[in-house]
Every structure is written in C-alpha cells, then in structure tokens.
A and B are shown apart, each in its own frame.
Chain A
Amino acid sequence: MSEALVAIEKLNVSYPGATVSAHVLDSVDITIGHGEAVGLVGESGSGKSTVAFALLGLLADDADVSAGRAAFDGRENVFATKEAEALRGTEIAMVFQDPMSALNPLFTIGTQLIDIQRRRFPNERRSQLWARAERVLAEVGMPDAPRRMRAYPHEFSGGMRQRVVIAMALLVEPKLLIADEPTTALDATVEAQVVEALRRLRRRTRSSMLVVSHSMGLIAELCDSVVVMYAGTVVESGPVKAVLRKPLHPYTRALLACEIDPYADFDPEQELATIPGIVPDPARRPSGCIFAARCTESHARCSEPPPHRQVEAGHRFSCWQDASR
C-alpha cells in the first residue's frame, strides 16, 4: 500500500501563558489515507479545531508547534510556515465552523468565490473562474446559482451560506478537505441537507476528508475511520464500524452515551446524558491518564501514563483497563 496522504506523529501545540504554558495538544497522531474520510470527535475544548488549524498553518502567532513527523503527500515537515502556506487553498481547503461569520459581509459571494480560486488557478481569466464558481455553487445545491453569485452573504440563510462555504472548498479541488463542525450552527433539517451535500461530494471527488465534530452521529454518516480526542490527546482511534460496535476507551463509551438517537421520537422528559466533570485546564495537565478524574472505571494504576494498545486491525486505544472487556 502506498503512503498515506497525511501522516502526523506526536503533534504538540502549546500557548505560552503568564506563568505556565497551556499544553493544548499532547502527542497527537493522525493518519489520513488517499480518499479516506477521517472523523475527529471529542467534547468542545478538546483540541479538534487546533489540529485542523495546525494542518493549515493558521494557528495564532504565539502558538508553539512541534511534531515528530508531519508529512503531506510525500512532502515532509509541512508545519514549517512556508510549506503550510503553499498548501493552503491549493491542496488543503477548509470548511469553517461558523458559516455566519466565515464570509465577508461587504462583498458579493461571487467576488469571494473568485478571489479564493486565484492561488489555485493563477492563469485563468476572471470569466473562467466565475463560470466555475457558478457551476460548483449549483452542484452543492444552490438554487438559481447564476443570480445568487451577485448576492451578499446576509441575503442567504444559514444552510445556504454553509453551501457557499462548502463550494469554496470544492472550487480549489483540494487533496484534503477539512470540515470543522460543518453542521453545528445549523438546525436539524438544514443539517441533513448539508450532510447530504458532503456525502455526494465524497462520492464524486477522490479527495480525502477530515471531519471535525463533537457528534459521533455525523462522523458515522460521513467517515471511514474516527479519532477520539480528549483534552488534547488521542484516546481511541480506528475504523468507524469497529469503534461504534466496540468502543474500548471509557471516554468513547461516555461520548456515545451522550448522543441522542436522531430517529427516536422527541421526548421532552428525557434527560440528556452528560459526562460529569469538566475537561482539565490545558495549563495543569495531570501526569497520569488525562481522563482519570472523570472516569467511572479509574483505579490506582491510572495515575501513571496509560499504555497504547491495539486490538484488531488499526483499532487503538490508550487505557489501563483490560482490553478484553
């Protein structure tokens, strides 16, 4: 098998603080194969967006980034500023978390869809870029695309804006498409439409995808494999089917218990399960297992760093418990 498109090992990101620095990512490994869709799941604040921004080289200026290995499509060391910059908008494209604020309110959609293509297609004329934008906008399900090109962002609904943002990513035909919480800001019906648009796109293009979400449901719909993150560390990863069928890390199980069944009847009485406790402060990380304080199954051993274990093909987790459970 050929090398994966993205191979990141031991990615560390920290922000200098007044007294101690905040360790936001701790030794994160992520591999994305050619044409593979990987989901990145975890509670808010677990560092998912940080991974996505690191890939684009878009972290804040004061971020301290280091990685054991950072390879993209055969090129090494892609976190170096110049390398990351060269990939942006050509080989990696990103759909941002909040479609309401991701577009400039004072310029038409068309203008913005043109300018984001310039880096990718430097030799094309404006009319060619415009035609391509119109076509892709129609492809993601925008009705009356030619006329809508001349509209301003505030004239679109949230779902339509998210389609514009997805169209941006498609326009540059990237090798890797990152979608950061692509449906979080949308209501349920619109969410279903956007998921459908993303799924169609997956079938049509051969690009790899990294889908960031706090919802296991969305990832199950869109992805081949999943990486579960907690407080800046990867606690479990593997094929979506295997992880859903047999979640090995207590955190993954807790996350799954929190999901609402989208097909169940709405019951206002139903209490939504939540994981008790809060994500530890990145500036004060415990030395042992990072989840121990909130884990219902913790024991004395958990004060030591947990081992990395592998069951069947590619299904890994880091925990002191018995893997056979």
Chain B
Amino acid sequence: MRGAPLRIHLAFKLATALLAVAGSVVILMALTRLIPGDPATVILGSRATPEAVAALNARIGLDRPVGEHVLVFFAHLLSGDLGEDVFNGRPVAGLVAAALPNTVALAFSAMLSAILFGVPLALLSARNPGGKTDRVVAFLSVGFISTPSFVVAVFLLMTFSVTLRWFPVLGAGEAGAVGDQLWHLVLPTAALAVGWIGYIARLLRSSLLEVLGENHIRTLRAYGVSEAKILMKYALKPAILPTIAILAMGFGELLGGAVFVEVIFNRPGLGSLIYDAIRTRNYPVVQGGVFITVLLYVLTNLSADLTQTLLDPRERSRLAAARGT
C-alpha cells in the first residue's frame, strides 16, 4: 500500500471490509443448513403437521436453495429489512436496534477501562523493567489474561452482587435512569475488561521498551530531558500506535466476550439476543444479529486503521503528497 493515495487506500479498505461482512453472512447461512435436525421441527415440536412445517420453512426461507436465500437476504437488506422473528413476526431490525446500545455501551466501557488501567500499568512497568513493580504487574497481567471473562463474570457476580450485595445482580438497569444503568454496568465491564487490562499492560510495556531503546530517546537523555517526560511524551506516542491497531482488532473479541457476560449477568444486548435465538432456532434473528455484529467489528477495524494513519505525521504527509499529485 506504500504510496497509494488516500482515496484508493480508503476504497481498498472499505471494499475488503464489505467483502468480509458479505462473506460472513454467506458462511452463516450455509452453516444454518448444516446444523442437524430440521429447524421447523425443532421449533414446532415433533408432532407438527407437515403443512405447518412447510409454511414455517417458507417463512424462514429454508425451502429455497442457499444461493437464493442469500440473495433475498441482501435484497431485503437494501431496504433496511433484516427479516422477521419466527415466533412473533416482529422485525429483526427493531430487535437488534433495541439490543445494540446495551452491547455498545458495555464494549466501550470495557475498552475504556482497559485503557484507563492498562496504560498506567504499562508505564509503571516500563519505567524500571525487571524491577519489583514490573514483576508484580507482569504476574497480575498474565493472570488477568489467562482467566476467561465468563469465569471472572461468575466470580464477580458471586462475590460482589450475591455475597456482599454491593452491586445489582441482574439486568441493565431501568430505562432512562442513567445512574442506575451505569451501576448495572460496573461488574459486566470489569468482567470483560480484566483480560484486556492485562493484555494492554503487556503489549504496551514491550512496545515502550522497544521505543526506549531507540536512538531518538538516547538523544533526549543526552540533553538531560527528564525520564518522566521521555516516558510519558516521547516514548508513549510511538509506542501506543501499534497498540491502537491491536485494540481495534480486539474489539471483535470484546463483542464475543460480551455474549458470555450478557448471558451471565442477564443483560439485554446483542450477545444475549443471538444466544437466545440460537437456543430457539430463531434463524432470522441469528442472521440479523450476527450481521450487525460483523458490521460493527469491521467498521471498528476500519476506523482504527484510519486513526493510526492520521496519528503518524509520516503517514499524513505521505497521503497528502499522494493526493496532491
């Protein structure tokens, strides 16, 4: 991609992104067919009449070949139609729209806390590598990373909600009551963020140490620039660029983790929506939910890519120069 103008760069990224989204929908639909057992029979029970089964299959689109099914899905998509709930006929778009804000709030607050705690931990470690603080942080980080978020979720729930009763047990809080919603967000956020705190701490630490060994840092040391300023200003900026890229890619994993956390804390959201839909073989809801999740994931990656580009003056002027010609 070196030397490509901004517009081509963007178009290429966007095309790749859309292709990924489309591809994932196709794979999802093909997988649906591979799951053993006729979905209609699972949904309606084994004593359903053949007519009822046929009617349901027609409504879901399972009576047509996969290729046609995919085309119909994308055709409807163009008019903002994601299909209908098998059981009550409500539009999937509406269900997803209702669930989305909860999940996005959870993912963002997890990402934010991961940065808020991970970055200072990385700075503390890099200040004196091999020192006591570094070793303690390394121990904690590896522990955090290797504990799955659903284990943390169950632990937090049992300790702080059930035993100590400091936090609410279930749900997302009352609609409109921001304070209550935030209160309900604390434990799920912690469960989801813990691994990422460790991950950022490790990642940024090694990135910082690499930058600290570079010649431009030695230049600053030769002029007696304070270690604090070197670390917080001149080393942090170059070190955090690769971390941003990895964080954005991790957003997908964060959404995946959100499924477990939402299910355990019984929070409404994309995760629990998809989870419930899979359990009841509510395929249109699964498809719509997964489609939006993948779209979110891809868009986040795209914006991370752009952020990284715009933060680096070398990339900025490279793109500006390419635009000028």
Q: Which residues from chain A sit less than 8 Å from chain B, CB to CB?
A: 56, 58, 85-86, 88-90, 93-94, 96, 98, 101-107, 112, 115-120, 152, 154-155, 165, 168, 172
* Residue numbers in A under 8 Å from B217 (CB-CB): 104
Q: Is the interface of B mostly helix, strand, loop or mixed?
A: helix
Bound-complex Cα distance A86 to B223 (A): 10
A105, closest chain B residue (CB): B314
Please tell me if the beta carbons of A101 and B314 are within 8 angstroms of each other in the complex: no
Say whether B221 faces chain A, with CB atoms less than 8 Å apart: yes
Please tell me if the beta carbons of B223 and A104 are within 8 angstroms of each other in the complex: no
A178, closest chain B residue (CB): B222
* Residue numbers in B under 8 Å from A104 (CB-CB): 216-217, 219-220, 234, 238
19 A-B residue pairings within 8 Å (CB atoms): A56-B222, A58-B221, A88-B221, A88-B224, A90-B224, A96-B218, A96-B219, A101-B215, A101-B216, A102-B216, A102-B218, A103-B219, A104-B238, A105-B312, A106-B238, A106-B312, A115-B220, A116-B223, A154-B317
* Mask: chain B, 56-73; 1 = CB below 8 Å from A; 0 = not: 000000000000000000
* Residue numbers in A under 8 Å from B179 (CB-CB): none
* Residue numbers in B under 8 Å from A106 (CB-CB): 237-238, 311-313
Bound-complex Cα distance A88 to B226 (A): 11
Please tell me if the beta carbons of B238 and A119 are within 8 angstroms of each other in the complex: no
Bound-complex Cα distance A40 to B117 (A): 49
B230, closest chain A residue (CB): A115
Say whether B142 faces chain A, with CB atoms less than 8 Å apart: no
Bound-complex Cα distance A47 to B122 (A): 35
Given A104-B216, A107-B234, A165-B219, 18 more pairs with CB closer than 8 A: A56-B222, A58-B222, A88-B221, A89-B223, A90-B224, A96-B215, A96-B219, A101-B216, A104-B217, A104-B234, A105-B216, A106-B237, A106-B238, A107-B233, A115-B229, A116-B220, A116-B223, A119-B224
Please tell me if the beta carbons of B219 and A102 are within 8 angstroms of each other in the complex: yes
Bound-complex Cα distance A168 to B317 (A): 25
* Residue numbers in A under 8 Å from B218 (CB-CB): 58, 96, 102
* Residue numbers in B under 8 Å from A117 (CB-CB): 223
Nearest CB of chain B from residue A80's CB, rounded to whole Å: 16
Nearest CB of chain A from residue B232's CB, rounded to whole Å: 12
* Mask: chain B, 201-226; 1 = CB below 8 Å from A; 0 = not: 00000000000001111111111110
Q: Is the interface of A mostly helix, strand, loop or mixed?
A: loop
Contact of B214 among A88, A94, A101, A112 (CB under 8 A): A101
* Residue numbers in A under 8 Å from B311 (CB-CB): 106
* Residue numbers in B under 8 Å from A152 (CB-CB): 313-314, 317
B236, closest chain A residue (CB): A106
Please tell me if the beta carbons of B223 and A98 are within 8 angstroms of each other in the complex: no
**A96-B218, A98-B215, A115-B229 in contact; A105/B224 too (CB < 8 A)?**
no
Return the 10 tightest CB-CB contacts between A and B, nearest first: A89-B223, A89-B224, A116-B223, A119-B224, A101-B215, A104-B216, A152-B313, A88-B224, A154-B314, A94-B222
* Residue numbers in B under 8 Å from A102 (CB-CB): 215-216, 218-219
Please tell me if the beta carbons of A115 and B225 are within 8 angstroms of each other in the complex: yes
**A88-B224, A93-B222 in contact; A103/B216 too (CB < 8 A)?**
yes
Nearest CB of chain B from residue A174's CB, rounded to whole Å: 10
Q: How many A-B residue pairs have CB under 8 A?
A: 79
Please tell me if the beta carbons of B216 and A172 are within 8 angstroms of each other in the complex: no
* Residue numbers in B under 8 Å from A56 (CB-CB): 222
Nearest CB of chain A from residue B309's CB, rounded to whole Å: 13
Q: Which residues from chain B sit less than 8 Å from chain A, CB to CB?
A: 214-225, 229, 233-234, 237-238, 311-314, 317
Nearest CB of chain B from residue A145's CB, rounded to whole Å: 19
Bound-complex Cα distance A90 to B225 (A): 11
Bound-complex Cα distance A240 to B218 (A): 31
* Residue numbers in A under 8 Å from B237 (CB-CB): 106-107
Nearest CB of chain A from residue B195's CB, rounded to whole Å: 29
* Residue numbers in A under 8 Å from B221 (CB-CB): 58, 88
Bound-complex Cα distance A119 to B229 (A): 12
* Residue numbers in A under 8 Å from B312 (CB-CB): 105-106
* Residue numbers in B under 8 Å from A154 (CB-CB): 313-314, 317
Nearest CB of chain A from residue B129's CB, rounded to whole Å: 10
Bound-complex Cα distance A101 to B214 (A): 8
Please tell me if the beta carbons of A105 and B313 are within 8 angstroms of each other in the complex: yes
A107, closest chain B residue (CB): B234
Please tell me if the beta carbons of A168 and B314 are within 8 angstroms of each other in the complex: no
* Residue numbers in B under 8 Å from A112 (CB-CB): 220
Contact of A119 among B225, B233, B234, B313 (CB under 8 A): B225
Max chain A Cβ within 10 angstroms of own Cβ: one of B215, B223, B314:
B223
Please tell me if the beta carbons of A89 and B216 are within 8 angstroms of each other in the complex: no
Nearest CB of chain B from residue A195's CB, rounded to whole Å: 21
Bound-complex Cα distance A266 to B224 (A): 44
B215, closest chain A residue (CB): A101
Contact of B222 among A86, A88, A103 (CB under 8 A): A88
Bound-complex Cα distance A312 to B266 (A): 92
Bound-complex Cα distance A94 to B217 (A): 13
Nearest CB of chain B from residue A99's CB, rounded to whole Å: 10
A116, closest chain B residue (CB): B223
Please tell me if the beta carbons of B215 and A168 are within 8 angstroms of each other in the complex: no
Bound-complex Cα distance A107 to B218 (A): 15
Bound-complex Cα distance A93 to B224 (A): 10
B235, closest chain A residue (CB): A104
Bound-complex Cα distance A56 to B220 (A): 12
* Residue numbers in B under 8 Å from A93 (CB-CB): 222-223
* Residue numbers in B under 8 Å from A107 (CB-CB): 233-234, 237
Nearest CB of chain A from residue B227's CB, rounded to whole Å: 10
B315, closest chain A residue (CB): A154
Bound-complex Cα distance A120 to B218 (A): 17
Bound-complex Cα distance A85 to B219 (A): 13
A155, closest chain B residue (CB): B317
